[in-house]
Structure 1
Amino acid sequence: MPNPSVIVRADTLVTLLGGGQHEPADLADALRRAPVLVAADGGADRALASGHRPRAVIGDMDSLGSAARAALDPRSIHHIDEQISTDFDKALRNIAAPGVIAVGFTGRRIDHELSVYNTLVMRPEKTCVVLGSVDIAFHAPPEIALTLPPGTRVSLFPLAPVRGRSTGLRWPIGPVDFRPWGQIGTSNEAVAPRVEMAFDGPGMLIILPREMLDAALEALI
């Protein structure tokens, strides 16, 4: 049964914009693939400055500028007054869509960026790709098959103990006990056009070059 408390429902991909570092081309790339725009708190300022009006603004509203607030339809502003979760989490959990491309959540404060990756693992039911200037990152589903040019960097970073198996990687990942305080899997490499991975539980981040965004979306959605 649909969750009646969800704020944004969309049949297409959603672009979620934060207040972190991004270039106009980043937002444009996301919106071409995910035309519904949602802002996390102060991301609305960045949206309006770029000439875009978000369908909804979600967060605790501690960084939404007064000019942006005045320019927005008050009905589009959804104030969630708690400090237990981040604005990224508040927004992501209130979006019901096939997938989300998150822009403006990397490249500035390290603590903010780490909290984004923590949220990806906490909410494995949400399909979300974080778009950075160099890389993309997303939480690994139980099974995934990626179409990648041989030689593509495939990095794996565990945020929980997890094991997996793979085909198509230079260094197979099974049997490896991954854990954030032990074995990680950065700088692996595709050696076949199809890379398949499976994991025994949640907690693994997959990090690919930015130009593999479409390949990731095709595999996830």
Structure 2
Amino acid sequence: MVLSTSRPVLLVGGAPVDAGDLDALSGRYHRIVAADGGADQLAGHGLRPDAIIGDLDSLRAPAGWGDVPVHRIAEQDSTDFDKCLAYVDAPLFFAVGFSGGRLDHVLAAFSTVAQSGARVILLGDGDLCCRLNGRIRLELLPGTRVSLFPMGPARGVSSTGLRWPVDGLDMAPAGRIGTSNEATGPVEIGMQGGPVLLILPRDCLNELLEEMEASDA
């Protein structure tokens, strides 16, 4: 294990990082880990990581960072995002710089969030994304966009507070999906099983974190 903490960690990938994402996360994380070229993104925003992890195929070490621990993991069967989640232990990860620029990188990031056993909130392009685990209740304003995207077969999806209910639906990537729905007020979504991503506007970060904290209580 490269790093272990009882507080949230910010993971930064090598894709362009929106300053708005960093502003939204300000004060919410304890440590910063760069995934390979994410170190360059951090340098561009005047931030410094506590560690750099990855296969290091795109890292250009910024000047003056000689004391930042660099952990090279050469295997090519996982992404740098995967490597960070495997070698860092934290109760929550905020991830930026993993979903911009290239469509294949976006899909890879979604796959990582869906498959990881860690709790991850991925931010990018004005949205946030996390894996739906069991049941979640969110205090959303009417008209808030709510999207559900299955990353594999998902059984027994249920909901209240959505303009287009998804009660009893089974979802699949090449079948029924649940994008571009809307909240009519507080929303409750549940499922019996399967990897489903919940996608919300970035402005809903506070509501999502409040629900996560309540579920841990």
Same fold (TM over 0.5): yes
Deviates more, 1:84-93 or 1:26-35: 26-35
- Asked whether 1:200 is paired with 2:181, we answer no
SS at match of 2:118: coil
Structure 2: gaps (5+ residues): none
Given candidates 38, 51, 57, the residue that maps to 2:33 is: 38
Given candidates 95, 98, 112, the residue that maps to 2:91 is: 98
Distance in 2, matches of 1:26 and 1:154, equals: 19
Could you tell me which residue of structure 2 aligns to residue 107 of structure 1? 100
Given candidates 131, 135, 150, the residue that maps to 1:143 is: 135
Could you tell me which residue of structure 2 aligns to residue 155 of structure 1? 147
- Asked whether 1:88 is paired with 2:86, we answer no
Q: Cα gap change, 1:12/1:190 in structure 2, threshold over 3 Å: closer, same or farther?
A: same
CA contact (8 A) 2:134 2:190 kept: yes
AA in 2 matched with 1:63: S
Distance in 1, matches of 2:40 and 2:170, equals: 43
CA contact (8 A) 2:94 2:121 kept: yes
AA in 1 matched with 2:179: T
How far 1:31 sits from its partner (Å)?
3.5
Q: Cα gap change, 1:80/1:69 in structure 2, threshold over 3 Å: closer, same or farther?
A: farther
Q: Cα gap change, 1:20/1:31 in structure 2, threshold over 3 Å: closer, same or farther?
A: same
Q: Cα gap change, 1:88/1:50 in structure 2, threshold over 3 Å: closer, same or farther?
A: same
SS at match of 1:168: strand
Which runs of 4 or more aligned residues in structure 1 lie more than 6 Å from their structure 2 counterparts after TM superposition? Answer: none
CA RMSD of aligned residues (A): 1.6
Distance in 2, matches of 1:150 and 1:28, equals: 25
Could you tell me which residue of structure 2 aligns to residue 71 of structure 1? 65
Could you tell me which residue of structure 2 aligns to residue 133 of structure 1? 125
How far 1:13 sits from its partner (Å)?
1.3
How far 1:212 sits from its partner (Å)?
0.6
Percent identity between matched residues is 45
Structure 1: gaps (5+ residues): 1-5
- TM (norm. structure 1) is 0.90
- Asked whether 1:186 is paired with 2:179, we answer yes
Larger proportion of strand: 2
Aligned pair count reads 212
- Asked whether 1:19 is paired with 2:11, we answer no
Query: Deviations along 1:144-178, whole A, 9 cap, x unmatched?
Result: 11111121110011111112111111222121111
Distance in 1, matches of 2:109 and 2:18, equals: 19
Distance in 1, matches of 2:140 and 2:152, equals: 26
